[in-house]
Copies of this chain bind each other. A is one copy, B any other.
């Protein structure tokens, strides 16, 4: 069967959730909540902590917990759980990037890279406590 023979469906039109992994959720809360100032939606023990980012949600999962099979028959969430440094990028206005560099550095978080892409958009990169590579970029990086 080729793709053109398949039943059709309207393509997804937004990112609802993106995930990163971290073993230490307390450290993740200090970073994403206190330092980055994101709105915390929910924390469940040592399994996960979720943050609202605009219309989407950034999920921070402890892979030691999420890789276990689900145990609630009403919410059979499939297991997952990656190891090693992931990547995530926030959309940040150009005018705020210098502020973020100052705030991050003052908190002892190094700016690992800071450059302009060929289309002129600026990105800065730093690490979260779990060594994930976090980027803040002007949204025009991917403008249509």
Q: B-contacting residues of A (Cβ < 8 Å)?
A: 1, 3, 6-19, 21, 34-38, 41, 52-59, 61, 63, 66-67, 74-93, 96, 99-100, 102-103, 106-107, 112-113, 115, 117, 125, 127, 132-133, 135-137, 139, 141-142
Contacts and interface: CB of A to CB of B under 8 A. Distances in A.
Contacts of A141: 16
A49 to B, nearest CB: 14
Per DSSP, chain A at the interface is mixed
Q: How many protomers of this protein does the assembly include?
A: 2
Nearest to A135: B17
A127 B79 CA distance: 11
25 contacts: A7-B99, A8-B103, A9-B99, A9-B100, A12-B54, A13-B53, A14-B53, A15-B89, A15-B90, A16-B135, A17-B87, A17-B142, A18-B18, A19-B86, A19-B87, A55-B91, A55-B139, A56-B56, A61-B87, A66-B87, A75-B117, A77-B125, A78-B125, A80-B84, A80-B87
Given A12-B38, A78-B125, A90-B15, A103 B6 contact: yes
A86 B82 contact: yes
